[in-house]
Amino acid sequence: MLALTATPIPRTLHMSLAGLRDISVIETPPEGRRPIRTHVGEYDEELVKTALEREVARGGQTFYLHNRVETIDEAAERLRQLAPGLRYIVGHGQMRERELEEHMLSFLRGDADVLVSTTIIESGLDIPEANTLVVERADALGLAQLYQIRGRVGRSDLLAHAYLFYPDASELTPEARARLATLADHTELGAGFAIAMRDLEIRGAGELLGAEQHGHLAALGFELYVELLGEAVAELSGERRTVARPVRVDARIDAYVPADYVPGEAQKIDLHRRLALTETEEELGDLEAATVDRYGPLPEPVENLFTIQAAKLKLAQLGADYLVFRGGRSTVGPLVLGSDELRALRNRIGTAVYATARNEVSVKHDGFPEALRLVDAILDTRRAA
């Protein structure tokens, strides 16, 4: 299934971050599209008057958002007194269908300079001549909703203006202040992803299957929440999840993702995260194939990352806690091998194998990849025994 969205809401974004969906971002704007100049502040009648008259002077139209049907006609009358030389029309969702259609078609034809409306304009409208937006109570609207509404202007090659007003700064809630600050900070084209990430932080991911989008993860942390969610889903599905055994690989080798291989920091972090979350050799092989397909052949430091993760998975199968590679010697422990197993292991790898008094198995060899082959040989010996 391919889902396309102009603005990922927190729950949709969370599904991709949790691994339930893959995500890619299209950041190239349409040709000629310009960022919307956004003003956030207390309601200012003089600024509203200037904005409305400036838009008409350059031959454009304005959306004026007043999200109360009971008082929307009063708001329109107030605007007529403020800027009497302009033409106004009202539209809201409680109007009769035919009447609303006539008003919208009239605005489209250019018979009115200002459309005074509720939030019914927030999605689907594409009116290139409308390049100024005034929102009367921006503090009462959601972040994704405000982003959608702001997107109703700036749909041509003209510079668009959005004015997000609130009554009094002292009355703003912390959440409203955070929402407005986010829109003021993210005015660049393609900012929807960053805004959705901030919305996720403010509101939380919400219910996985329900309609609510509120709730906070701060008490648990995102990674722990996803882990607990995975365990709960597996339990309810009747699956038995093997709890990952904590193992350590200590090797003095270069193991990282070079900038010239994966250019973006977000992609690097995602690769490290996906690598650390692999639980089987099959998952690791699939991830390696996907990485090669996307970025090309693995450079040596990335190969080492995959080798280290493969060693961790196999150490967990063995019941060992660590693999140390230093000075051309690999040591696996704690691990107890009987004399027959040691003999069989020497035959498999063709070199001397030492069992130390600290319940460790040690082998001297040339490079780190040989350390993984040692772990493979131990696994094969155990299975044969």
Whether residue 78 has pLDDT greater than 90: yes
Whether residue 302 has pLDDT greater than 80: yes
Give the CATH number, domain containing residue 270.
3.90.1150.50
For residues 137 and 281, membership in a common domain is answered with no
Is residue 220 in a domain?
no
For residues 275 and 179, membership in a common domain is answered with no
For residues 19 and 135, membership in a common domain is answered with yes
When computed from its CA atoms, the radius of gyration of the chain, rounded to whole angstroms, is: 30
Is residue 365 in a domain?
yes
For residues 130 and 48, membership in a common domain is answered with yes
Is residue 259 in a domain?
yes
How many whole angstroms separate alpha carbon 203 and alpha carbon 218? 11
Of 179, 203, 227, the residue that ends a domain is: 203
More reliable by pLDDT, 92 or 251: 92
Is residue 195 in a domain?
yes
For residues 18 and 152, membership in a common domain is answered with yes
48 φ, ψ (degrees, to nearest 5): -60, -45
Residue span of the structural domain in which 45 resides? 10-203
Whether residue 297 has pLDDT greater than 80: yes
Is residue 3 in a domain?
no
Q: Which pLDDT band, with edges at 50, 70 and 90, does 125 fall under?
A: confident
Q: Looking at residue 102, what is its pLDDT?
A: 95
Give the CATH number, domain containing residue 114.
3.40.50.300
Q: Looking at residue 307, what is its pLDDT?
A: 87
For residues 117 and 257, membership in a common domain is answered with no
Is residue 81 in a domain?
yes
Q: How far are the Cα atoms of 28, 121, 124, 132, 383 from residue 127, in angstroms, in the given order?
A: 21, 11, 10, 11, 70
Whether residue 14 has pLDDT greater than 70: no
For residues 302 and 169, membership in a common domain is answered with no
Of 203, 238, 273, the residue that ends a domain is: 203
Q: Looking at residue 250, what is its pLDDT?
A: 83
Q: What confidence tens digit (pLDDT) does each residue in 17-64 have?
A: 666 667 777 777 778 778 889 999 999 999 999 999 999 999 999 999
Is residue 332 in a domain?
yes
Q: What's the number of domains the chain is made of?
A: 2
Q: CA-based diameter of the chain, in Å?
A: 100
Is residue 233 in a domain?
no
Whether residue 212 has pLDDT greater than 60: no
For residues 50 and 122, membership in a common domain is answered with yes
Of 149, 176, 203, the residue that ends a domain is: 203
How many whole angstroms separate alpha carbon 43 and alpha carbon 141? 15
Mean pLDDT computed over every residue of the chain: 82
Q: What confidence tens digit (pLDDT) does each residue in 239-296 have?
A: 765 555 678 888 778 888 888 898 877 788 788 878 888 888 899 999 999 999 999 9
For residues 185 and 282, membership in a common domain is answered with no
Q: What confidence tens digit (pLDDT) does each residue in 145-158 have?
A: 888 898 899 888 88
